Structure 1
């Protein structure tokens, strides 16, 4: 045990009727990068919270040697404070009397950002105005600046773009060289292969194995108990009927029934604005043709209503999609309450049947549909959000980075679901921060750059590098 920087043995932890950890063990050494892998709900995040003292185990022993810092999947930044105020919240610059010297906040924060290779963020920016990826970067800089001896990162790359992932990987390797123990979780297996010296696999709240080398197929089998025949399902050909046609700024979208249309390109090129606008949540109010009929979408309610049927699944399910204190049942039924109501009263029996059908169809792991959705793992929360729109019967699905923070096996389930929905005639507009998904899961790809379409690629493209390369060129048809 003396050779370990972190060591847990025989740990149990339950939340209500859910046993998150069952006699679980975990150990990591100084000077190594150690990956903790497992499906959503396998107990990874709970073990991390036990190791850092945020959650007290019901039983077992935990030992941590050295100065510990942790960055959680749920960001802890205060949204109404600036970047500078968040970065220096626990250690602000002070004067002789111990009072905070506010005029030094911005210069000191700028220096901290620069020391960690971040020069494109203004410390005066209010945090809520940042993208999810930039918020994650600020969170990570704040943790890295503490110069930890043990660093624990829970899904640190889930919200990051590729260049930001490379930035974090460089810092992780630097810390390892300095003797720091780095523990991280990730659902992107290529990151685990590239970074981890050892990998520990959890399944159903218990330790399965710890190895120096593990292939993705072996890991999926160990994590889920099943094998994956293919990462991406075959696609049925799309139909000829146009489901949605719109012009948003300089971008023209023509989406057919049965088609999965990918929106690619480097991050921050207008993809999110496109999705929000089509759902009625953007600044523009474009003319939209849905099912051959001209429609005006001024707000999300217009998009959701019968006769239009546009649904939007956002990247930040916690802040933009789900009501975390409310039950799984209430979150699933939220968009369709009027359909199961009479004189203002919800028909509970009909609601229960509809909710139970979707929970079974999507294999949502929950002890009860009455439990708060916030107690579910990230992947199961995403299933609930997707299920809400399946219940609505929406014919046009706007899926924005829906597999972010989802394990490999659950991703495969999402891929199969999206392909099946398209085969049933639904029209899908899909964006992903993982370009591989766009390359393999779409009938056609529009590559965006600076708010316009730089290229249109017939798919499945198959090679993510072709999409990245297209983002750097002028518009063309391939």
Structure 2
């Protein structure tokens, strides 16, 4: 490590200047610069693909810059991959892609870098659980069993464990890449409190988020990136100004107009559906309708979507698709059932995409049989079908759809997953938190796409961890409570507070 000292008056907590970084033919960073002070919360904003995650990985030493320099409290660090050395300088990072080891317990993951050891340096396994529980208790997380494996936890609880692991280091510089993307509101408040506490104690906290209300509530300053470079750093920045800076586009409104009521035939009818957390869910949805599913987290929303796709077996209940009764034992049954059912999950990387495969292969995966003869796939027909959707969804594929989908930004990955199911021409779309972890401009693209699909007659079941999206995007909203439909709200609801109130108790006029 090469160190050069600066005077106290010039020292930033962490600073990057002139940083370039390319991945193959994709230039992720172009002369990027960034500087954050001690004792501030600094938001890093930009569209998916703007270079935020790449810059974070350069700052914490996970990847090297092709050109440029990084300084931590005035100490210039040489261009080698050395996250451990950055930790030694007080830099801790929690990444958007969770780094917990699935087969290890929560305790083992929490204490992975500093396990309790005996005199001979051997790990004292009997002390793992007590020490892990003490750490969880210290940070107000008494609801996670440290003896469970990471694989047994929900996405939200895995994110909490990841955050506790970095918080426990009490770093001088804390970098959080999309830390709230998988968290419900209660955990978002928990994390916000710890971010402010660290800031007040002198720590530099850097975070990315696509939820502008979080940036407004937490950030002392905001740096905006676009196309791999620094655009602006401001103390006061409205959402409209930020979107223009991030995308170069202006939006008149966040949500499309969905006031037209769907009058098509019944596409899906669900009667007394049970299984998992579901305790007798009944509803119907029409062609051309966007039906929202609201309620507090963990009330059976995920079970409903998985059961309707055949990924989770129903214990009881009846389903009709296009007026015909169907039995869904596996996803293949859902895809083939009458009008066809498609499911886009929240965790695109773990449940949806094959990251090493190309964009083209990921999109074409569910419809290979349609372009195959004698077991051979017609690559020409496949390329034509994929190219049409890549253009329609504005997927940033760079030079070619043959590049690995893992190289794309999160928003473009989500568009690839949606393109796969649009290619099946499914008439019932189950969209489960599909805007999680994508930027404001990409969200608007997805909202517009959903409205267009509804106008084409698709029946869409929509869940989002952001209640505002459900309130503004859906024709009706079903509020689940304890595995049942507690309230049905005619829409568009517009007011997210009505959904929240209905989640807690039935309210007059709901």
TM-score scaled by length of structure 1: 0.98
1:465 counterpart = 2:497:
yes
Q: Is the 8 A contact 1:454 1:476 kept in 2?
A: no
> 5+ residue gaps in structure 1?
none
Deviates more, 1:238-247 or 1:467-476: 467-476
CA distance in structure 1 between the partners assigned to 2:472 and 2:117 by the alignment: 54
Deviation at 1:306, TM superposition (A): 6.2
SS in 1 for 2:103: coil
1:448 counterpart = 2:480:
yes
1:242 to 266, 273, 280: 266
SS in 1 for 2:161: helix
CA distance in structure 2 between the partners assigned to 1:41 and 1:102 by the alignment: 42
Q: Is the 8 A contact 1:455 1:477 kept in 2?
A: no
1:354 to 362, 368, 385: 385
1:265 to 295, 298, 307: 295
SS in 2 for 1:453: strand
1:301-312 mapped onto 2 (5 Å cutoff): 301-305=332-336, 307-312=338-343
CA distance in structure 2 between the partners assigned to 1:379 and 1:240 by the alignment: 31
Aligned twin of 2:54: 46
Deviation at 1:56, TM superposition (A): 0.5
Deviation at 1:96, TM superposition (A): 2.3
Q: Is the 8 A contact 1:454 1:475 kept in 2?
A: no
1:242-391 mapped onto 2 (5 Å cutoff): 242-247=266-271, 248-249=273-274, 250-284=280-314, 286-305=317-336, 307-367=338-398, 368-391=400-423
1:4 to 7, 12, 15: 12
Q: Is the 8 A contact 2:326 2:337 kept in 1?
A: no
Q: Is the 8 A contact 1:38 1:44 kept in 2?
A: yes
SS in 2 for 1:26: strand
Deviation at 1:253, TM superposition (A): 2.5
2:442 to 410, 422, 430: 410
SS in 1 for 2:303: helix
Deviation at 1:307, TM superposition (A): 2.7
SS in 1 for 2:261: coil
SS in 2 for 1:281: coil
Aligned twin of 1:225: 248
Deviations 1:275-324 (A, max 9, x none): 00000011326531000011111000111126341000000000000000
Q: Is the 8 A contact 1:232 1:415 kept in 2?
A: yes
Deviations 1:429-457 (A, max 9, x none): 00000000011101111111111111111
Deviates more, 1:95-104 or 1:326-335: 95-104
Aligned twin of 1:137: 160
Q: Is the 8 A contact 1:456 1:477 kept in 2?
A: no
Deviations 1:85-144 (A, max 9, x none): 111111112222222121221111111001001111111112111111111000000010
Aligned twin of 2:215: 192
Count of matched residue pairs: 478
Q: Is the 8 A contact 1:455 1:476 kept in 2?
A: no
Moved over 3 A (4+): 474-478
Aligned twin of 1:55: 63
1:412-451 mapped onto 2 (5 Å cutoff): 412-451=444-483
Q: Is the 8 A contact 1:43 1:203 kept in 2?
A: yes
Q: Is the 8 A contact 2:313 2:329 kept in 1?
A: no
CA distance in structure 1 between the partners assigned to 2:470 and 2:499 by the alignment: 9
Aligned twin of 1:172: 195
Deviation at 1:475, TM superposition (A): 9.0
Deviates more, 1:340-349 or 1:283-292: 283-292
Deviations 1:233-265 (A, max 9, x none): 101321241101123221112111111110000
CA distance in structure 2 between the partners assigned to 1:477 and 1:199 by the alignment: 41
Q: Is the 8 A contact 1:455 1:475 kept in 2?
A: no
| RMSD of equivalent CA atoms | 1.2
1:162 to 185, 202, 211: 185
1:68 to 52, 74, 91: 91
> 5+ residue gaps in structure 2?
1-5, 74-88, 275-279
Q: Is the 8 A contact 1:239 1:425 kept in 2?
A: no
